[in-house]
Amino acid sequence: MFVDKVRITVRAGNGGHGAVAFHREKYVASGGPDGGDGGHGGNIVLRVDDNLSTLMDFRYKRKYTAPNGQDGQGARCTGKRGEDLIIRVPRGTVVRDAQTNEVIKDMSDSQDYILCKGGRGGWGNKHFATPTRQVPRFAKSGLPGEEHEVILELKLLADVGLVGFPNVGKSTLLSVTSNARPKIANYHFTTLYPNLGVIYVEEGVSFVMADIPGIIEGAAEGAGLGHDFLRHIDRCRLIVHVVDVSGSEDRDPVEDFQRINRELKQYSPELAERPMIVAGNKIDLIPEDCDNLRRLREYVTEQGYEFYEISAATHAGTQNLIKVIAGKLAQLPPVVVYEPEYVKPLAQAGSAEDLKIDQFGDVWSVSGKWMEQLLGDINFEDYESRMYFDRQLRKSGLFDRLEELGIQEGDTVSIYDLEFTYEK
């Protein structure tokens, strides 16, 4: 079964918790705190696999969770980091946010992409020892991993897309010009999913051509198979419109040409403006008294398209058509790669009442869901990001609440794996 669109939920691993432990060894007095840090959670990583051609693997499994980081232990032992979960997808898969449908990443290159970051591990109590706080009996929890619901949408990376009504000879043309071996039979919708073929023109010159399943009138609204597979010509640099000029199915080729163009325009006006050439197929089956070929050639050339006569079954005109396609592609820009549109929403200031505040002597520990999300948004190496963090803390009323609870100037505020000295 060909699957080219799925919705999945992914969640990175949580960070492990820091440990509260103290060094105990014979003849060693006052060993001090030695609780280790928790390990970071595993990331969710997308990786292109050229051996995959569909999203079939996601049909039965829709939830993916990376391993959590292990908790820290005594003797300053840091917990093991959670392994990254690698999700393999076909080249050309577009990742979209399920809520906004915005593009997160176009998996058309060979670089791995971290879709969800694992949570940071919490600090062990070894970090909180000071000359005045020699026995810290607290540690920090790990941060949760990111979670996201996304849509995976496969858009084939083909240079050329063959379009036309069912049974006009698209699959035959692909089979005689490339290494593809699609199913070919004399009935509608023989092709139930897109077929790709690599066409070698000469040394150093080749291109990929896709046979798109037959489009019929109403495809843009979901009729037939066209609605499901029109997305696969979104990337094509050139469209080859194959028309049956033999009249073997009692259809008029000029009307067929007009109908398919209407469907393309209805699906995507931008796609309808894509460069197109027209191939009149089955010239070997034209009856002597039939003027279909002449009428189609005159109409197509009047519309500004180039027209070529071929017979895919007898190979007549096919090599010339391939050379013309290769020449056109040499002048066209490369295959479209979708730019990211999705911007992760930043955490807005919540309420300090929702945050948990614990006091350990002169250390004030702050935690909570909103704080976890805010920390995930902040790059502490960037000045503007740090200023945003400070503004959000002030907006939340955290500092007012700390003063109400009795915090003193010079006390330490501990927020997960972040510490700073409180100043009024």
Domains located in the chain, CATH noted: 1-155 (2.70.210.12), 160-331 (3.40.50.300), 347-424 (3.30.300.350)
Q: Which tops the pLDDT comparison, 55 or 187?
A: 55
Whether the pLDDT of residue 225 is over 50: the answer is no
224: left (phi over 0), alpha (psi -120 to 50) or beta: left
Say what the pLDDT of residue 228 is.
64
pLDDT-above-70 percentage for the chain? 92
**pLDDT band, residue 303 (cuts 50/70/90):** very high
In whole angstroms, how far apart are CA 157 and each of 117, 236, 320, 338? Answer: 28, 7, 24, 12
What is the torsion angle, in degrees rounded to the nearest 10, for the CA atoms of residue 227, residue 236, residue 263 and residue 95?
A: 40
The Cα–Cα gap between 188 and 224 comes to 10
Say what the pLDDT of residue 213 is.
74
Say what the pLDDT of residue 421 is.
87
Q: Which tops the pLDDT comparison, 76 or 45?
A: 45
Decide if 153 contacts 4 (C-beta within 8 A): yes
Averaged over 330-340, what is the pLDDT?
Answer: 86
Q: At 191, which amino acid appears?
A: T
Dihedral over Cα of 53, 58, 63, 69: its sign: negative
Say what the pLDDT of residue 212 is.
79
pLDDT-above-90 percentage for the chain? 31
The Cα–Cα gap between 97 and 101 comes to 5
The token duo for 37 is 């840090």
Say what the pLDDT of residue 62 is.
92
Say what the pLDDT of residue 154 is.
87
Whether the pLDDT of residue 191 is over 80: the answer is no
321-349 as b/e: b if 16+ CB within 10 A: bbebbbebbeeeeebeebeeebeeeebee
- Looking up tokens 């945003």 gives 388
Residue 1 burial by Cβ neighbours in a 10 Å radius (0-12, 13-18, 19+) = exposed
Tell me the pLDDT of the chain averaged across its residues: 84
Whether the pLDDT of residue 187 is over 50: the answer is no
